[in-house]
Amino acid sequence: MKKGITRQKQLVVTILAIALATLLLFTACAPTPLQEEKQVVKVGYVACLTGPAAAIMQVGWRNLVDYLKYFEEVGVPGLDLPPGVTIELVWGDTGMEATRAISVYERIHGDVVFCHVPDAISAHALKSRLERDEMAVMTMVPDEDLMYPPGWVFTVFSTESERFAAWCDWIMENWGENRPPRVGMMGMDTPAGRAAEVMGTAYAESIGIEMLPFEHFPYTPLDVSPQLLRLAESKADFIYMQAHWGTSPPIIRDAERLGLVGKIGFAVATEDGLAIPLLELGTAVEGLSQAKCFPWYEEVPIVYDIFREYGGRLDTSGGIACTLQYGPVPIEAIRIAIEKVGYENLDGRAVKEAFYSIKDFDPHNIGRPVTYTPEDNRGAPEVRIYEIRGGKVVPATDWRESPMLVPEE
């Protein structure tokens, strides 16, 4: 009796084994759902993430990384890449040295179809190589040598000289005395610090402003009393600081110590000039002005969604809204290029040509639509004059197009 039961158990086990094997065979032969293969578009980032300008460049870098994460994981209405296409940043630190910028670029340029080169030193060092390799780039510190004639360098705002020119127009519109206003310019002894010196001075003098001799200072100014006193002795009505958040506060503090605040009007140049460190100086910066290329961050609620709630922080640099254009514009160019030539044929020339198909592009509705033409790679040359009033950054004008200052050949 026990042997019969044993044989029955063995038969059941055998049948189950055969059934399992058959099931596995059918499973192995059955078609599996195709997984969508990611198509990676590599974008370069060549910038001085260490060195004298690191404080600024690291903010821009973090904001761009946060924006790309937000775009991929949350999405931006009206901004889409083809299904399966994703962007990967390939980056390198230049330490604000031209030779290192060249080294980083030579290492990555064969893998990328587009580059962010935000600082002027790197952009100038790479300009001839960009033409050689047909590589389009986006810079955040444009000057006339980079933008004219239009080539492989793009941006989303006017040059430093053109912003200074727009500020000069505003000064002349509001000047009430029967003599020319006297304007002094101060800047770092770098390409960015002197960016507005030549073309900006020529424009200011052409509209009736008396320009005083240019005063330069180091990237980390410990005391600019001599420069300020020389401008004061020349009876400057305004001092325009071609500076950034690291240099503007000590200049204002020195001006306050010398008793010049309230006697001379001060203005800052670069997009991050109206930064929180300046606002913390209180009454010393009352009336300070700037021709800004982007709205003050408090006017653009989306920055809170992306950079504070999503990114976990909010860098209140004053130029944070800039990311809402230099982030999406290259994505849109890449989308158009893929649509025209296909992912397999995507290269730097295709991306460059795609820029010229971008018209009235403003996905975050910040009020500065971007348009490129073969004659103008600036994208959006509009500026708005802002002032600090009662401890607040407030607009003093509507958006206006800055003059186009093209060097004579």
Q: What is the domain-level CATH number for residue 274? A: 3.40.50.2300
Domain presence at residue 15: no
Tell me the average pLDDT across 126-139.
96
Please indicate, yes or no, whether residues 154 and 164 belong to a single structural domain of this protein.
Answer: no
pLDDT tens-digit readout, 54-91: 877 887 888 888 899 999 988 999 999 999 999 999 99
The C-alpha atoms of residue 246 and residue 188 are separated, in whole angstroms, by 11
120 vs 155 pLDDT, higher one: 155
The C-alpha atoms of residue 325 and residue 334 are separated, in whole angstroms, by 14
Please indicate, yes or no, whether residues 137 and 186 belong to a single structural domain of this protein.
Answer: no
Please indicate, yes or no, whether residues 112 and 44 belong to a single structural domain of this protein.
Answer: yes
| Residue 287 confidence (pLDDT) | 94
Please indicate, yes or no, whether residues 153 and 183 belong to a single structural domain of this protein.
Answer: no
Please indicate, yes or no, whether residues 248 and 393 belong to a single structural domain of this protein.
Answer: yes
Q: Are 193 and 221 in contact (CB under 8 A)?
A: no
Domain presence at residue 25: no
| Residue 192 confidence (pLDDT) | 77
Domain presence at residue 316: yes
| Residue 399 confidence (pLDDT) | 94
Beta bridge mates, 92: 46
Domain presence at residue 20: no
Please indicate, yes or no, whether residues 284 and 216 belong to a single structural domain of this protein.
Answer: yes
3-state helix, strand, coil in the chain (%, to 5): 40, 20, 40
The band of 15, judged by pLDDT with boundaries at 50, 70 and 90, is very low
Please indicate, yes or no, whether residues 187 and 281 belong to a single structural domain of this protein.
Answer: yes
> How many angstroms from the chain centroid is the CA of residue 392?
24
What is the tally of structural domains in the chain?
Answer: 2
pTM of the model: 0.85
Please indicate, yes or no, whether residues 150 and 214 belong to a single structural domain of this protein.
Answer: no
pLDDT at 233 exceeding the cut of 90? yes
Residue 101 half-sphere exposure, CB side, CA atoms within 13 Å? Answer: 24
DSSP 3-state of 372:
coil
Rg (C-alpha) for the chain, rounded Å, is 28
Distances (CA, A) of 117 to 24, 72, 146, 326: 55, 22, 12, 11
pLDDT tens-digit readout, 19-37: 444 444 444 444 444 445 7
Name the token pair of 83: 């299904």
Please indicate, yes or no, whether residues 257 and 184 belong to a single structural domain of this protein.
Answer: yes
Domain presence at residue 374: yes
Tell me whether residue 74 is exposed, middle or buried, using C-beta atoms within 10 angstroms of its C-beta: 0 to 12, 13 to 18, 19 or more: exposed
Please indicate, yes or no, whether residues 142 and 168 belong to a single structural domain of this protein.
Answer: no
Domain of residue 182 covers 160-292+384-401
Domain presence at residue 18: no
Tell me the average pLDDT across 260-276.
80
pLDDT tens-digit readout, 166-205: 999 999 999 999 999 999 999 988 777 888 999 999 999 9
| Residue 245 confidence (pLDDT) | 63
Question: Angle CA(141)–CA(146)–CA(151) in degrees, nearest 5?
Answer: 130
pLDDT at 10 exceeding the cut of 90? no
Please indicate, yes or no, whether residues 266 and 320 belong to a single structural domain of this protein.
Answer: no
pLDDT tens-digit readout, 344-398: 999 999 999 999 999 999 999 988 999 999 999 999 999 999 999 998 989 999 9
| Residue 374 confidence (pLDDT) | 97
pLDDT at 53 exceeding the cut of 80? no
Lowest mean pLDDT among 106-110, 129-133, 215-219: 215-219
Count of CB atoms situated within 10 Å of the CB of 194? 19
Place of tokens 């209180």: 282
Domain presence at residue 30: no
Average pLDDT, the chain: 87
Place of tokens 């940043």: 89
| Residue 184 confidence (pLDDT) | 98
Please indicate, yes or no, whether residues 202 and 125 belong to a single structural domain of this protein.
Answer: no
Count of CB atoms situated within 10 Å of the CB of 134? 13
Domain presence at residue 394: yes
The C-alpha atoms of residue 358 and residue 379 are separated, in whole angstroms, by 9
